[in-house]
Structure 1
């Protein structure tokens, strides 16, 4: 089943996450009509090679044009043609960007499928979901709607007051024009009495409306302090978790709607107070304070700093490499201008840009051992008010060489896992400890976001046994694994890279056990049929995968044979599925045979890997210089040091 068909079978809560990252950059209609073709292309490689990206871009347009010509529905055909021209204009000069966008969409789909398929959720993911429960959203929606309704009612009251005031003004001016001789007449006295009654009612009505306005202002104040600001804080926390591979970030558009409606209510009240004339001074200060507070608090970093070459590792910046970030304020209110102080640039929003979204690019930043943060300052000119805005990015790590990327990413993960204070730049002077339940969830996210399938409970337990044997759960930092020349994070990063580039289909199918000690490996295999094997990641090689199978010796006792780990250099030549299919052992006097029969626990090899075999079977053999019996008896030879011999008999 194609990935897109699997997506369409998900529950609505996951479909909403999918809907979030499909936008004008890559409309979902294109994902639908070109699903199979899109999934058959290597977008990840293309996103880093311009020539390949250009070829894919041109082929993409050909596929889309063909789809347009075949579409029978007039409206669908019209929409596809419109999208065709939009995509052509948008990416014609930058096909790398399109490849990166599609690659990211496919990656996010895999991550959502992985999340949906996992039986259990970790405490962090549960807390993220609990912070945005459906019931909570309904309560907030209802509260904002009630306030809007109350403000609309106040408008009607103010309009009635204006009509009453107009009536009084007319009567009073008419009275003023009467002949002075008539002022002591009964009619004049009655008119004066009527005017006094109208004036009393005006005064009473003004005070009544002012009292209602004061009540609504209190409701808005409570709404902002007890609901909107906490929701915004929780969204920022969800953004932190999403930065380190957690659940897809959603909710900003909903927040924007709440902030917009609340801001509209405040400005509407301000206009009502302006009309109340002499009573305005009693509450103007509070209204202005709420407006300032609401707008200032809603100025957020929508997209955290990120290098386009490493979209899955935000908050790591390499010197002399461009990175981007986006900021925006929430209320959709038309403004005159926005000035960004540091850039000395004025932005004039148009009708097409009701929400300010500013994209910044940076290249110059200095390496230090400390965390950094980008501050953004702006001045917003909005409906007669000048509002100073300020926000900052999450702390970021600056590196000077890509070899520092795994360690930098460890810092980013550790920080965002354990604190939500965006200004705690001295965090690593005394880093907090993490619980295994926290760390294990983040480790699983790395595989979910980078490779489309997270770690199951058994894999996490095996990884935890290994990890807890090497470290306490302090910050793992940059120190090497005991007895190794590399750190835990470099080891993990090399495994993720190996999966992405060489093992992805097999990994997504769940056929790589991955993290298992040699002791556990033997315990799992010893009771199994001869020829049962499993795949695990090497502990001694960076980015290596090996397989171990079980046989029986002359006495019927189990024997365990492991091959030398396959690294990316060897897997460049031959996919892992073909290696397993064609693997053979040569020993003196024995016809070469494939010892691999069943993938643990008991899946026939061809059933597990058959769909990943190349159609042209390789006729290579696995050979060894030592007899199998010698290998099995030599404790100094932990691996079967076989090599692939490639022959082309075509």
Structure 2
């Protein structure tokens, strides 16, 4: 299933045409690949070929298993829509019964094409963020480094023993020299020669070991440099993943492994510096390299573990946590006090020390670095921070205050055990937008979304492109939508196409939008044609409505979602009266409407759109009950009986109140006398009669719900 796991992550970057070519909707739809992923990848498909007739029985067996498994999964699933889809897919597979080899070859080709695309995905444009594992120093790297350091220590010890032996033998040689007679006939002469030879051998061995020791020390520093470079890359990748998590990409925030590597590399650095001291002669190049590596490691080990909110309202409390990965190595004694200050974009680009110019006033902006023995983490938590005031830069042109980015800078001075001097360390947070009123929140969030989605690694703070390809924008919208709603049901190709038509204002464009550039202005500066809101304001409203009131409906695949008028009429035009689908309102922020087929006055058919239900409406009566109330709609597109699909969302009637009161029930009624394309949905207490219609021309008319409450 590993291949499908990687493939599914890549799908948002592919065009609709590529996806349809890869997974033919009528022969082998993408849903089949998804539901049977593990089984498919466990079979042998590579050997199939149309000319190998002897493989027909094998292909037939795999075809039968595919059909059987689809039927089995359909029986087990509780999702009515998925159940019906899977049963239909299993029936469609029967087209291969006459030529099962075609089925085997088709699956073979699909898997091969996937592998080819995954090979291509290794290119940078398909990487959502740097791969932490690829830059992370592996166990073999560190094991090799540790063994080299041990070898250096062993050589030093052997050299010490050898030097002591050499000193002893030299003393013996000098004693023998004094005892030799002038006539040269003394028997100690041969012993003296032997001793001299032994001394020369010892001297040679000491020199050889010294040379090997120096070479190993250099290799150790080189290896440490390589391991630390990869570790620093992993720390950057962790911060990059944390940045991308804002738009919903998966992120593992566990820092324990990285902390272990930091501590181990610090230990290796200390041992190597000790070995250089014990060397007895200055090695300025190696000493300087180890000093720089130590400084970089100490300074890079400060991370913002829990980021502050990226949209911060002045005078409001917020919290953040900074973690130091070398916390257990901090010299005991004086507590380490971290200070936070807010900096602007210019200051973020010129960080060298603590900025002297304050652009904002932070309340409760200091915290002590404290060690937690149970979690083995050392953190400073700012629990009740607040921005009292902010000084803004001069704005250019139409730039809004919600487009200005700041950051929090955390800094302190720290002393590590075994190091002679203290080190100044600092780290900045992710970009934040400072607002003064809740009405600015939506636009500020748009700035953060654009920054998180389209910034480059190691950029100049806080530069972002002005335009990006639509495929990147769609991938961002899909990730943000699914993460906010907390669903695994993605926006599909129809949703993607309609969103592109809307943001580019090209309702009649039917080609692929993938490589067309979308600008920041189109995203959240320019209002949509004929609307008082921007694309992001509209999309975010839909996202919030779905998150709070429609999550289960969306996750079950009961909401078609984003669909344009032309596509709507195309798919409903041949359906029976009463066929309906649920779509997000095109004209109202945070609304969902029901489009359905009804009879026209001349005996034909027409598509009706019921006035959108908003958050306020769904708080009064849920969507399931409203659908049950409306007798005009009977089948969810394409042909699912509404009572079968939505019965789990129907609420039970409330028991009669005590005290002799007459019970009141709120029902949704739709005007049946309207001649327009939109109908108002009205809540009336127990009324069996329909409300009169109205006339209008817009797709979704902005008519306020008539809400009546009764009391006695």
Q: TM-score over 0.5 for the alignment?
A: yes
Which of 458, 466, 487 aligns to 2:494? It is 458
In structure 2, relative to structure 1, the CA distance for the partners of 1:341 and 1:408 (3 Å cut) is same
In structure 2, relative to structure 1, the CA distance for the partners of 1:355 and 1:192 (3 Å cut) is farther
TM-score normalised according to structure 2 size: 0.63
Q: Which residue of 2 aligns with 1:523?
A: 570
Q: Does 1:512 align with 2:559?
A: yes
CA RMSD of aligned residues (A): 4.0
Question: Which stretch of the first structure deviates more once superposed, 254-263 or 183-192?
Answer: 183-192
In structure 2, relative to structure 1, the CA distance for the partners of 1:624 and 1:329 (3 Å cut) is closer
Q: Any idea what SS the aligned residue of 1:540 has?
A: coil
Q: Which residue of 1 aligns with 2:304?
A: 301
TM-aligned CA deviation for residue 341 of structure 1 = 5.7
TM-aligned CA deviation for residue 129 of structure 1 = 7.2
Q: Which deviations, in whole Å up to 9, do the C-alpha atoms of 1:176-224 show, x marking residues without a partner?
A: 9x79975997567866765564344333312211111101211222343
In structure 2, relative to structure 1, the CA distance for the partners of 1:206 and 1:334 (3 Å cut) is same
Question: Which stretch of the first structure deviates more once superposed, 534-543 or 467-476?
Answer: 467-476
> Would the aligned equivalents of 1:479 and 1:487 in 2 still touch at CA under 8 Å?
yes
Question: Which stretch of the first structure deviates more once superposed, 537-546 or 367-376?
Answer: 367-376
Flag the structure with higher helix content: 1
TM-aligned CA deviation for residue 397 of structure 1 = 0.8
Residues 32-43 of structure 1: pairs in structure 2 closer than 5 A: none
Which of 447, 451, 455 aligns to 1:419? It is 455
In structure 2, relative to structure 1, the CA distance for the partners of 1:224 and 1:10 (3 Å cut) is closer
TM-score normalised according to structure 1 size: 0.69
What is the rounded CA distance, in whole Å, between the counterparts of 2:252 and 2:372 in structure 1? Answer: 28
Q: Which residue of 2 aligns with 1:90?
A: none
Q: Which residue of 2 aligns with 1:567?
A: 614
In structure 2, relative to structure 1, the CA distance for the partners of 1:179 and 1:131 (3 Å cut) is closer
What is the rounded CA distance, in whole Å, between the counterparts of 2:650 and 2:672 in structure 1? Answer: 29
Residues 179-578 of structure 1: pairs in structure 2 closer than 5 A: 194=198, 197-225=201-229, 227-250=230-253, 252-279=255-282, 281=284, 283-306=286-309, 315-331=310-326, 334-336=329-331, 339-340=336-337, 342=339, 347=369, 349=371, 351-352=373-374, 354-361=376-383, 362-364=385-387, 365-366=389-390, 368=392, 369=401, 370-385=404-419, 386-420=422-456, 424-425=460-461, 427=463, 431-453=465-487, 454-469=490-505, 473-475=518-520, 476-553=523-600, 555-578=602-625
> Would the aligned equivalents of 1:124 and 1:441 in 2 still touch at CA under 8 Å?
no
> Would the aligned equivalents of 1:548 and 1:562 in 2 still touch at CA under 8 Å?
yes
Q: Which deviations, in whole Å up to 9, do the C-alpha atoms of 1:46-80 show, x marking residues without a partner?
A: xxxxxxxxxxxxxxxxxxxxxxxxxxxxxxxxxxx
Which of 581, 596, 614 aligns to 2:651? It is 614
TM-aligned CA deviation for residue 580 of structure 1 = 0.4
Q: Any idea what SS the aligned residue of 1:549 has?
A: strand
Which of 640, 657, 673 aligns to 1:627? It is 673
What is the rounded CA distance, in whole Å, between the counterparts of 1:282 and 1:132 in structure 2? Answer: 31
What is the rounded CA distance, in whole Å, between the counterparts of 1:406 and 1:206 in structure 2? Answer: 67
Q: Which deviations, in whole Å up to 9, do the C-alpha atoms of 1:294-349 show, x marking residues without a partner?
A: 3323433233222xxxxxxxx11111112223333445752215734637766464
Question: Which stretch of the first structure deviates more once superposed, 511-520 or 442-451?
Answer: 511-520
Q: Which residue of 2 aligns with 1:3?
A: none
> Would the aligned equivalents of 2:137 and 2:227 in 1 still touch at CA under 8 Å?
no
In structure 2, relative to structure 1, the CA distance for the partners of 1:270 and 1:557 (3 Å cut) is same
TM-aligned CA deviation for residue 393 of structure 1 = 1.6
What is the rounded CA distance, in whole Å, between the counterparts of 1:254 and 1:125 in structure 2? Answer: 28
Q: Which residue of 1 aligns with 2:47?
A: none
What is the rounded CA distance, in whole Å, between the counterparts of 2:632 and 2:431 in structure 1? Answer: 52
In structure 2, relative to structure 1, the CA distance for the partners of 1:350 and 1:639 (3 Å cut) is closer
TM-aligned CA deviation for residue 418 of structure 1 = 2.2
Q: Does 1:164 align with 2:142?
A: no
> Would the aligned equivalents of 1:395 and 1:423 in 2 still touch at CA under 8 Å?
no
TM-aligned CA deviation for residue 148 of structure 1 = 2.4
Structure 1: gaps of 5 or more residues: 1-8, 15-118, 307-314, 584-593
> Would the aligned equivalents of 2:338 and 2:367 in 1 still touch at CA under 8 Å?
yes
Q: Any idea what SS the aligned residue of 2:319 has?
A: strand
TM-aligned CA deviation for residue 160 of structure 1 = 2.4
> Would the aligned equivalents of 2:323 and 2:379 in 1 still touch at CA under 8 Å?
yes
> Would the aligned equivalents of 2:328 and 2:371 in 1 still touch at CA under 8 Å?
no
Q: Any idea what SS the aligned residue of 2:442 has?
A: helix
Q: Which residue of 1 aligns with 2:131?
A: 131
Question: Which stretch of the first structure deviates more once superposed, 557-566 or 230-239?
Answer: 230-239
What is the rounded CA distance, in whole Å, between the counterparts of 1:521 and 1:572 in structure 2? Answer: 27
In structure 2, relative to structure 1, the CA distance for the partners of 1:536 and 1:183 (3 Å cut) is farther
TM-aligned CA deviation for residue 395 of structure 1 = 1.9
For the pair shown, which has the larger CA radius of gyration, 1 or 2?
A: 2
> Would the aligned equivalents of 2:130 and 2:237 in 1 still touch at CA under 8 Å?
no
In structure 2, relative to structure 1, the CA distance for the partners of 1:323 and 1:214 (3 Å cut) is same
What is the rounded CA distance, in whole Å, between the counterparts of 1:220 and 1:10 in structure 2? Answer: 33
> Would the aligned equivalents of 1:623 and 1:644 in 2 still touch at CA under 8 Å?
no
Q: Any idea what SS the aligned residue of 1:510 has?
A: coil
Q: Which residue of 1 aligns with 2:100?
A: none
Q: Any idea what SS the aligned residue of 1:384 has?
A: coil
In structure 2, relative to structure 1, the CA distance for the partners of 1:576 and 1:633 (3 Å cut) is closer
What is the rounded CA distance, in whole Å, between the counterparts of 1:636 and 1:193 in structure 2? Answer: 111
Q: Any idea what SS the aligned residue of 2:281 has?
A: helix
> Would the aligned equivalents of 2:370 and 2:378 in 1 still touch at CA under 8 Å?
no
What is the rounded CA distance, in whole Å, between the counterparts of 2:3 and 2:486 in structure 1? Answer: 18
What is the rounded CA distance, in whole Å, between the counterparts of 1:255 and 1:348 in structure 2? Answer: 19
What is the rounded CA distance, in whole Å, between the counterparts of 1:561 and 1:155 in structure 2? Answer: 84
In structure 2, relative to structure 1, the CA distance for the partners of 1:282 and 1:395 (3 Å cut) is closer
Which of 597, 605, 620 aligns to 2:642? It is 605
